[in-house]
Amino acid sequence: MNPQNQTDDTVMLPPGPVPTAPVPFAPELALGLLRDMLRIRRLEEKCAELYGAGQIRGFLHLYIGEEAVAAGAMRALSADDTVVATYREHGQALLRGVSMRAIMAEMFGKQEGCSRGRGGSMHLFDAQSRFFGGNAIVGGGLPLSVGLALADRMQGIHRVTACFFGDGAVAEGAFHESMNLAALWQLPVLFCCENNLYAMGTALPRSESQTDLCLKAASYRIASRAVDGMDVVATHQAALEAVDAVRGAQRPFFLEFQAYRFRAHSMFDPDLYRDKAEIEHWKEHGPIHTYTARLKTQALLSEEQFLALDAEVGREVDDAVAYADAGHWEPVADLLRDVHTPAGGSSS
């Protein structure tokens, strides 16, 4: 976030006005982006509800407010591309193709989950859709992404590796090491920084002397761009251009999504580090209702259509909860499976 978008007392402000321009996409894509964001939002709201009821345990980091980032970026990638994410990864996993049933079962700790119930919220994983986490370590996915891209290069495979991480990861050594190696080796990594301005709970200008994160990428001679992460039109257009650049030149690109999370860092976070008025101001830029308003203005969406779509998504969420609730706990006899390899060979 550029310095002009913050006040002296570190109140963080949106990067620009509420988007109102016409949506330049065909109706199928335009409505598809709305559906993507609604699926994420309703899934996250249900997870918060179930966490309060004790049905989901452990850590839970919600994506509410940042839906436009995942919706815009994931549709820019091909099915063969690779995705690595953070512990706030439910949205990316869902839009990558991991079923809501498998995600919810994983939240419940059931063996029908995408990680057999062993990973939970922070460790969603699905090799079939090339979704390689979910990583609980801040910045932990960055070196993994460089390694995956290097492996593709060595095998002569042309694909993009998209790595999602937060602004807090920019302060980690792994960020600088990964950017440096990706630049040195000219690897096709799309670095997607989801800058929600607070990392865990510290405002960006209190933790970074240089708050223009694109300049950090420029220091490694990596092309970069910042975009309004609350505007799904802007995120999708920027992601398309960035993916094309990485795929065409087979070299890294840094894309900063300037976004905001409406909920606290995690369900354990009392959220005392920011003013409630600031949150409400950002909600005026909420990606779902501002985009819905644009679609209605263009007659691409009616209120009846919106309600029908929302109801459809609600049924998907209810089905996922029922599936997870009916799932099975891992048998005690399997608890040591994959913990270590038996002397005779593979444990799988």
Q: How far apart are the first and last CA of the chain?
A: 47
Cα–Cα distances in angstroms (integers) from residue 309 to residues 45, 103, 104, 228, 305, in the given order: 16, 21, 21, 25, 6
- Whether 227 shows a pLDDT value over 70: the answer reads yes
Compute the distance between CA of residue 178 and CA of residue 163 in angstroms, rounded to an integer: 11
Instruction: Specify the pTM.
Output: 0.94
Mean pLDDT of all residues belonging to the chain: 94
Mean pLDDT value of segment 13-42: 96
Where does the pLDDT of residue 30 fall: very low under 50, low under 70, confident under 90, or very high at 90 and above? very high
Task: Say if CB 267 and CB 48 are below 8 A apart.
Answer: yes
Q: Residue 294: CA atoms inside 13 Å, Cβ hemisphere, count? A: 23
Please state, in angstroms and rounded to a whole number, the distance separating the CA atoms of residues 174 and 138: 9
How much is the average pLDDT of 38-58? 97
Measured distance CA(204)–CA(266) in Å, rounded = 18
Distance CA 172, CA 140 (A): 9
- pLDDT of 4 reads 38
Distance CA 22, CA 101 (A): 35
| 90 contacts 44 by C-beta, under 8 angstroms | yes
Residue 52 CB neighbour total at 10 angstroms: 10
Using alpha carbons, select from 344, 302, 321, 325 the residue that is nearest to residue 34: 302
For residue range 166-197, what is the model confidence (pLDDT) as tens digits? Answer: 999 999 999 999 999 999 999 999 999 999 99
pLDDT in tens, 269-295: 999 999 999 999 999 999 999 999 999
* β-bridge partners, 194: 166, 257
Q: Which residue has the tokens 């996409």?
A: 25
